[in-house]
Amino acid sequence: MPKNQRNMQIRDAVVVSALLLLAFGLRVYRLDGQSLWHDEGLSLDLASQSVRTLLSTGSSLDHPPLYFLILHFWLRLVGSSDFSIRALSLFMSLPVVPLLYILARRWTGRWAATATALLAAVSPLYLYYAQEARMYALATTLTMGATVILLSKPTSSWKERWLRWLAYGLCAAGALLSHYTAALVLGVHFAYVAAGAVRSRREWNTLSFPTTHLRGWLAVEAVLMVGGGLWLALTNASSSIYPRSASGSSLPEIARSTLVSYISGHGLEPIVDHVRPTALNLDAANWAAVGSIALAALGLIAILRTNIRYAGFLLAYVLLPVVGIYVLAAGRHDFTPRYLMVSSPAYMLLLGATLAFGKRTRVLACVLLAPLLGIAAWSMVNYYTDAAYQRDDFRALTRYILDQSFPGDLVVLNAGYTYPVVTHYLGYVGQSMPWVGLPVGLPPDQAATERQLEEVAARYHRAWLVLWQDYYTDPTGIVKGWLEKNGWQRDAHSFPGLSLYMYTLDKPVLSAPPAPQHALSADLGQTVELLGYDLDESAMATQGRLRATLYWRALTAPKASLNVFVHLVNGEYRPVGATDHRPAGDRLPTDVWEPGMLVRDEYELQVAAGTAPGDYRLIVGMYDPTNWQYLKVNGTEHTSLTLQTVKVDGR
């Protein structure tokens, strides 16, 4: 090997290695910084099944099974932490960088190859899906691998030709078994080969495809077409390629959102449902897309000067999948840009080709590409640091539930299909809670839903309602409306993409005398009587929380709206845990009580961090918050009643 050639190979290896390290660093940074979301929960659920079950349920999958099969064995090796689950996509995303360099190096030169691979290394789109446990990175890598093989330098060796087509067939089959939209890129491959076969006699061989290769190609295509047809027939996948929706996306909108994602990923125009982009970010995204079109056009012109067929191939690689997906989804399904991630490498090849004009224009081309790198950096900062551009936070929601829950609680998922990600976090932290998916049916069956809610209320003390995509699953608010009417809302909290409500299902007004764990008869201000209380200390050891349920009887009709205080105090009456509010979570004020009314009233206390171990007293009382007048206990001067001693192990 000549010395110059060896030096060039070393230089190429150094450049590719540096860009791979850059890509790896960006992708591994905060890999588990965001919660898994619904789609990743589905991946985890499928991968947790046996191989036989996974393959036998192929007809119910929205995607082909290859990624889930690989993830199945991957999780058995590395475990199921968030980092481990996503690490597979990280490694699947990296080969795109050297593959783009190889292809661009051959057809547009070293400078263009470096620019193309750099754009891939810092691509916010590739970063996003390298940190998501889904198949998009795998499908993109495999389609790019098939493309590189297809456009590789022809060889006269019979053995090398068939090995090449075998490798192409494996990549193409793997891509089809990863995501159905890979077929759009393989259709471009087919058109290219057909054009090469037709024009070979005219000696248009600047990007040669000798007819001697045609037999290998036909053999591969036959296998792919027969296998793909059988798979589609067996799984009925053609009806489930895209999510159901009431309206489709227009061709201009598909093209615009696709270009924006190619340049900025989801860091300027969020993909999540709960966020709308700011005017500044939306304008920046749109102008970046327009500017990238101009640069891609320059790259196309640079390629046309030396190789018309390669330019035509890249143009078809970019445009035909957009048109194809529009035809498939028009009027029936909404579009999301990740479906066309498989064609994004072609756009990066066109952008990088702006450096193929020559030395005189190379500096200008670098200046023109610099804003795209700036947009990429801006998008990545948003993705890493701004919650508005991050995934729905099921992890924080689930931890909040576990921190605030007691035995006898139930999780109600308005989108029952989110159970894999919710149960992942419930189990991952070493705890578990029962859950139910409501409403029943889609569209929801109100009568069946309310019957099941009545059954739930009879079995569970409290319900945590998780709302996600309720505009789709429960647009009229059947579940929340029933809980508002028949329960008492005690908590409400928002998380990115999610809303959480907690309801006490026990009715506060009792129809019969209660049977408390600890019976009492304490008169407070000759206005109300404390009949007794229940105390739940099950969460004290692990979470430093306790729940006290008080039972009241109105002796008169109170004229004021009184507050109840429940405090855990030390020997000096200094509280280490306290809660004060009107009865029944502020929903049943005493000024609406009637003589003889029986009320069930629940309170939760959190012991303060740093509390020393020891015995503390649990005290209760009532006061008027307008004048801070406390009700006397049993006609004495005492304004609080000690219920019992509670042991604290230390916080």
Residues constituting the chain: 651
Judgement on whether residues 219 and 355 belong to the same structural domain of the protein: yes
Mean of pLDDT over the chain: 86
Query: H or E stretch including 16?
Result: helix 3-28
The whole-number average pLDDT for the span 281-286 is 84
Nearest to 597 by CA among 525, 506, 486, 512: 512
Burial class (CB in 10 A: 0-12, 13-18, 19+), 63: buried
How does residue 159 score in pLDDT terms, banded at 50, 70 and 90?
confident
Helices 96-108 and 136-150 pack at an angle, to 10 degrees, of 30
Say yes or no to pLDDT of 278 above 80. Answer: no
Residue 279 covered by a domain: no
Which pLDDT value is given to residue 166?
Answer: 84
| Residue where a domain terminates, one of 371, 389, 407 | 389
Terminal CA-to-CA distance of the chain, rounded, Å?
A: 71
* C-alpha–C-alpha distance, residues 347 and 364, integer Å: 20
The whole-number average pLDDT for the span 157-173 is 82
In three-state secondary structure terms, 428 is helix
Q: What are the tokens at 64?
A: 């082909």
Which pLDDT value is given to residue 238?
Answer: 43
The whole-number average pLDDT for the span 225-248 is 51
Which pLDDT value is given to residue 248?
Answer: 52
Say yes or no to pLDDT of 240 above 70. Answer: no
If one compares 227 and 540, the residue with the highest pLDDT of the two is 540
Which pLDDT value is given to residue 203?
Answer: 42
Residue 242 covered by a domain: no
Cα angle: 270, vertex 276, 282; to 5 degrees: 70
Contact indicator for 581, 562 with CB cutoff of 8 Å: no
- Read off the CATH number of the domain in which 602 is found: 2.60.40.2550
* Helix%, strand%, coil% for the chain, nearest 5: 55, 15, 30
Judgement on whether residues 128 and 11 belong to the same structural domain of the protein: yes
Judgement on whether residues 325 and 218 belong to the same structural domain of the protein: yes
Question: Residue 628 is which amino acid?
Answer: W
pLDDT in tens, 603-616: 989 999 889 999 99
Judgement on whether residues 34 and 18 belong to the same structural domain of the protein: yes
Helices 214-235 and 182-199 pack at an angle, to 10 degrees, of 150
Judgement on whether residues 143 and 233 belong to the same structural domain of the protein: yes
| Residue where a domain terminates, one of 504, 521, 538 | 504
Residue 283 covered by a domain: no
Residue 278 covered by a domain: no
Q: What are the tokens at 111?
A: 């400078």
Give the other-Cβ count within 10 Å of 496's Cβ.
20
* C-alpha–C-alpha distance, residues 457 and 507, integer Å: 10
Q: Which residues pair with 82 in a beta bridge?
A: none
pLDDT in tens, 506-525: 888 898 999 999 999 999 99
Say yes or no to pLDDT of 499 above 90. Answer: yes
In three-state secondary structure terms, 531 is strand
* C-alpha–C-alpha distance, residues 592 and 160, integer Å: 89
How does residue 431 score in pLDDT terms, banded at 50, 70 and 90?
low
Say yes or no to pLDDT of 593 above 50. Answer: yes
Judgement on whether residues 169 and 197 belong to the same structural domain of the protein: yes
Nearest to 554 by CA among 595, 525, 592: 595
* C-alpha–C-alpha distance, residues 504 and 337, integer Å: 42
pTM recorded for the entire structure: 0.85
Number of structural domains in the chain: 3
Which pLDDT value is given to residue 156?
Answer: 66
Strands (E), 271-408: none
Which pLDDT value is given to residue 229?
Answer: 58
Residue 257 covered by a domain: yes
Residue 626 covered by a domain: yes
Residue 281 covered by a domain: no
Judgement on whether residues 311 and 371 belong to the same structural domain of the protein: yes
Q: Which residues pair with 606 in a beta bridge?
A: 545
Judgement on whether residues 420 and 532 belong to the same structural domain of the protein: no
**How large a percentage of the chain has pLDDT more than 90?**
56
How does residue 242 score in pLDDT terms, banded at 50, 70 and 90?
very low
How does residue 246 score in pLDDT terms, banded at 50, 70 and 90?
very low
Say yes or no to pLDDT of 402 above 70. Answer: yes
Judgement on whether residues 342 and 401 belong to the same structural domain of the protein: no
How does residue 235 score in pLDDT terms, banded at 50, 70 and 90?
low
| Residue where a domain terminates, one of 458, 483, 504 | 504
CA dihedral for 108, 361, 318, 389, sign (positive or negative): positive
Q: Which residues pair with 503 in a beta bridge?
A: 463, 489
Question: Residue 146 is which amino acid?
Answer: A
How does residue 82 score in pLDDT terms, banded at 50, 70 and 90?
very high
pLDDT in tens, 315-351: 999 999 999 888 877 655 567 889 999 999 999 999 9
Judgement on whether residues 522 and 423 belong to the same structural domain of the protein: no
How does residue 200 score in pLDDT terms, banded at 50, 70 and 90?
low
* C-alpha–C-alpha distance, residues 517 and 602, integer Å: 14
Q: What are the tokens at 470?
A: 């309720």
Range of the domain at 154: 3-237+248-273+288-389
Secondary structure letter of residue 604 according to DSSP: E
Judgement on whether residues 342 and 462 belong to the same structural domain of the protein: no
**How large a percentage of the chain has pLDDT more than 70?**
87
Least confident of 163-177, 425-439, 573-587: 425-439
pLDDT in tens, 209-225: 455 555 666 666 666 66
Judgement on whether residues 539 and 469 belong to the same structural domain of the protein: no
Nearest to 140 by CA among 120, 161, 115, 113: 120
Q: Which residues pair with 550 in a beta bridge?
A: 533, 601
Contact indicator for 66, 174 with CB cutoff of 8 Å: yes
Question: Residue 240 is which amino acid?
Answer: S
The whole-number average pLDDT for the span 366-371 is 88
Say yes or no to pLDDT of 51 above 50. Answer: yes
* C-alpha–C-alpha distance, residues 517 and 559, integer Å: 30
Which pLDDT value is given to residue 205?
Answer: 43
Residue 282 covered by a domain: no
